[in-house]
Amino acid sequence: MTGTHAFCWGGMDLITQETEIDPLLHNCLEPAAVGNAREIPFTPDSGPYTLADRLTALGVDPTPAQVDEVLTRARELMARAGRLLTDGELAGLAASVAEEAR
């Protein structure tokens, strides 16, 4: 497999947490060695750890309860839309959940 998704192993918590511990666990070389980058998508199979990591990378600092609520809403929205959500949509969901918690 080649291309921009060659190093994309999906967004399941198991994969994302393993990659944090050993980046080469699922790849025989670092993506940068061939001019690529590791991509961890947020998918319907993603769980709270993957979502929390993604939100943190976006500058959002949700509580565990907020992560759970964003996860539920994100999965519902992906099912309705029939596609993955953008980072902006995830950040927007997190902002809505945080606002409702106030």
pTM above 0.85, yes or no: no
Model pLDDT, residue 35: 83
What pLDDT sits at residue 12? 64
Q: How far is CA 31 from CA 9, 12, 60, in A?
A: 12, 19, 27
Residue 59's φ and ψ, nearest 5 degrees, are 85, 15
Question: Could you give the CA distance from residue 15 to residue 29 in angstroms, rounded to a whole number?
Answer: 16
Q: Please list the pLDDT of the chain residue by residue as tens digits (102 residues).
A: 567 766 666 666 666 666 676 777 667 777 788 888 777 788 999 999 999 999 999 999 999 999 999 999 999 999 999 999 999 999 999 999 999 998
CA atoms within 13 A on the CB side of 52: 12
| pLDDT at 18 (0 to 100) | 66
Alpha-carbon radius of gyration of the chain? 15
